[in-house]
Structure 1
Amino acid sequence: MNRVAAEHEPSTAELVGRLSEQVSRLARDEIRLALAEVKDKGKHVGVGAGLLGGAGVLAWFGVGALVAGAVLALALVLPAWAAALVVAGVVFLVAGVLALVGKKQVGQGTPPLPEQAVESVKRDISAVSERAHR
């Protein structure tokens, strides 16, 4: 009976082979699952980005309508050409202020170079080049 049981038990090499095959299959299945999840999330992100783009276009048209309304309202007390110039000047002034604030924000968000890391890299490069020249 011992001999029969020994004949049915897989060898260590067979067990290692099976383990390798199962780990491979598991890794492939996990990668497929991850890709499916990323693909699904990507679809949602794409639809959301499209909707946000559409909202931006409609908001742009809304701002244009407000500007036109401001020109028409001001045209009640000024000639139409003067009303358009006044409204355009205000729009450019607001754009300039927004540009300055945006530039300041970008400047604050850009990190300076890490001085210690830069110096360390310079030292490493000089050490390597010194050893290379020896």
Structure 2
Amino acid sequence: MMIDKTDKSLGALFSDLTRDMVDLVRQEIALARAEMSSKMAEIQTALISVAVGAAVMLAGLFILLLAVVRGVEVLLPPNIGPWLAPLIVGLIVAGGGYALVKSGSAKITADKLTPHRTMDSLKRDKLAVQEKL
């Protein structure tokens, strides 16, 4: 009976498997780093855009609110208008701002930061390793 020289010993097979698994883990870590880096860069760019836009809008909002306060002040009696108009407008604006903050914070979830491609790849790798074993 002749033994084929291309057959590997059990030790060599385990050595190959260990080396392949280490390479696979390294590749998965590199993929996770790249994906998280990409996601963080996207979030950073979006946050900068939101911050600049909010600052510009805030300046315009102050001017509009001043006009609304003056308009409400004209409608009120002269002895209470100067203090009641800003109070009324301030309460309405604060309520609207609170509603916007609650709405926006509800949309920020951990799922947006989850590295989905890496997780899918890890699941495929796990299945491949299980099949080889």
TM-score, with normalisation over the residues of structure 2? 0.56
Gaps of 5+ in 1: 110-134
Matches of 2:62 and 2:44, distance apart in 1? 27
Matches of 2:91 and 2:75, distance apart in 1? 22
1:14-33 superposed matches below 5 A: 14-33=12-31
Q: What CA RMSD, in Å, does the superposition of the two structures yield over aligned residues?
A: 3.6
TM-score, with normalisation over the residues of structure 1? 0.56
1:112-127 superposed matches below 5 A: none
- Equivalent pair of 2:68/2:89 in contact (CA under 8 Å): no
1:8-47 superposed matches below 5 A: 8-47=6-45
Matches of 2:74 and 2:88, distance apart in 1? 18
Q: Which amino acid is the alignment partner of residue 56 of structure 1?
A: A
Number of aligned pairs? Answer: 99
Structure 1 pair 59/49, CA: closer, same or farther in 2 (3 Å)?
Answer: same
Structure 1 pair 77/20, CA: closer, same or farther in 2 (3 Å)?
Answer: closer
* Bigger Rg over Cα: 1
Relative contact order (C-alpha < 8 Å, sep 6+): which is higher? 2
Partner deviation per Cα, 1:12-50 (whole Å, 9 max, x = no partner) = 101101101101101110110111011011100110011
